Structure formats: structure tokens, C-alpha cells
A and B are shown apart, each in its own frame.
Chain A
Amino acid sequence: MTGVVSGGWGFVWAAYAITGGALLIYGVMLITRLRDEWSRAAGEGSGQ
């Protein structure tokens, strides 16, 4: 571990991109699933 680790921007970008992408995808998926569930619940409610 002597000396400076030079470069490595690729690793930095990869880490940020994967994290941001995963959080974004999860968030979008969550909202979509919730909307679906709401509309399903609403449909069931009006059907009775």
C-alpha cells in the first residue's frame, strides 16, 4: 500500500453509476407496484 493509487476514475464512476442506477430502478419499480396495487384495490372497491 505504498505510493498513491493513481487513476481509478473508472472504478469511481462504476460505483456511483451502479448505486444510483439501482436506487433509481428500485424507486421506480416501487412506485409502479404501489400504483398498480392502488388501482386494483380501487377497482375491487367499486366492483362491490
Chain B
Amino acid sequence: MLEIANNRFPRTPYYLMGIGVVLLLVGSYYGLFVAPPERYMGEVQRIMYVHVPTAWNALLAITFAFVCAIAFLMRSDFKWDARMEAAIEVGVLLAFLLCVQGAIWAKPTWGVWWDWDPRLTTTAVLLFAFLGILALRRFVDDPVKRGIWSAVATIIAYVDVPIVYFSVRWWNSLHQLQSSPDTVSSQFHLPLRVNAFGVLFLMTGFIMLRARLASLRHVSEVAPPPMLAEEAGEMA
């Protein structure tokens, strides 16, 4: 906690975010203007260059939250609680974007905004499950209970993800199986990979910054100075 407080303005997350933004600009430029339109999907295929990287990284953020939850339950170190809060919030943002992009992709492709595709549906369930955990954190005032409960809820929700996926796939099996558009050629791979690393760097920067914010809040929460205690209560 002290080393965070001493290091006034952290540099690393900003560097990571800078790299991420540059990579995203390059990858998106390539994906939007250089890569050829796909054989069947045409121009709409270009959504995939941002959709697939978002999907990978959303899963990564949620997995990191799961790891943090286990680490917090085992070590009881609030460093992990702050990281978990950060990873859940960023993961929720990415999952939300994923749902929006998925709907935008579904409309020209299948003619409907929502197709009950297993991946898209699982993402929506995941989004609501982790939004619920963020809400739980808001409503619990005791930091210890908040940390333990949200870690428990994170573990339970994470275990649910594969079960939701398989049950929705089963449920929707009468539907034609949607193959992902083929991305075999390297011209399709390049923007996908560059953007994936771009989102990864940006997301890592976000999570680090957000975790610092959570740590700071935790410090002021555990030892509020008597004069400012009321104000801190309003901020929280």
C-alpha cells in the first residue's frame, strides 16, 4: 500500500495505454482500408477485426478477475481485491461492447439484432452476472465482507460461464450452426492480431489504473480522517 502511495503518478499504465492506442490505430486502419472485403461477408467482415480482439480480451479480463478472487480468498491481501474490482469493471465494459458489436454484426448478416448465438448469449449472461457483482460491491460497506463476498460471487459466476455456453448451444441446436467467417488468409490475420494486442495493452493499462484507484479508495476508507469522514461517505 505504501509503495503505491509513494509513487505519485504511475507511468507504466500510461505507456501501456499509449502502445495500445497506437496498435489499435494501425490495426484498425489496416482492417478498414487495406484488407480486402471478405468473399461472403463483404465489408461487414471488417467488424470482426474489432469484435474478435474484444472477445479474447473480455474473456482474459474475466479470467484475471477469477484468479484475483482466488488469490484474495487465500491471501486476504487487499491488493488482490483492488485488482479484482478493476478486472471486473474493465471486463464488464468489454463484454458490453462485445454485445453491441455482436448485435451490429448480426443485423446485416442474419437480419436480426439478436440471434441467440451461444457466444453472444453467454456474453450477455456474463455481463449481467458481473454487473450484479459490481452492484453488490456498491451495497456492502464493510471492506472485508465486500472483498470476500465479491470474490466468492466472482468464482461462482466464472464457473457458470462454460455451463451457460453449452446449455445455450444445446438449446439453440435446431438452429443452423453458424460458422465464423473464415479468416485463413494472412490479410485477415494481421489486423486481427494487431488489434488484439492493442486491446490487450490498453486493457492492461486500464486495469492497472483502476486497481490503483481502488487501492487509494481502500486506504481512505480504512483510515478516514475525522474531519473528512463525512465527505468520504458521500463520495463512496
Contacts and interface: CB of A to CB of B under 8 A. Distances in A.
A and B touch in the complex (CB under 8 A): yes
B105 A11 contact: yes
Contacts of A47: 225, 227-228
Nearest to B219: A41
A34 B43 CA distance: 40
Nearest to A5: B42
A18 B93 CA distance: 12
Interface residues of A, number: 31
B50 A15 contact: yes
Interface residues of B, number: 41
Contact of B206 (A3, A27, A38): A27
12 contacts: A4-B40, A8-B43, A11-B47, A11-B108, A14-B104, A15-B47, A15-B101, A18-B101, A20-B24, A30-B213, A33-B213, A40-B220
Interface of B: 5, 8-9, 17, 24, 28, 32, 39-44, 46-47, 50-51, 54, 93, 96-97, 100-101, 104-105, 107-109, 202, 206, 209-210, 212-213, 216-217, 219-220, 225, 227-228
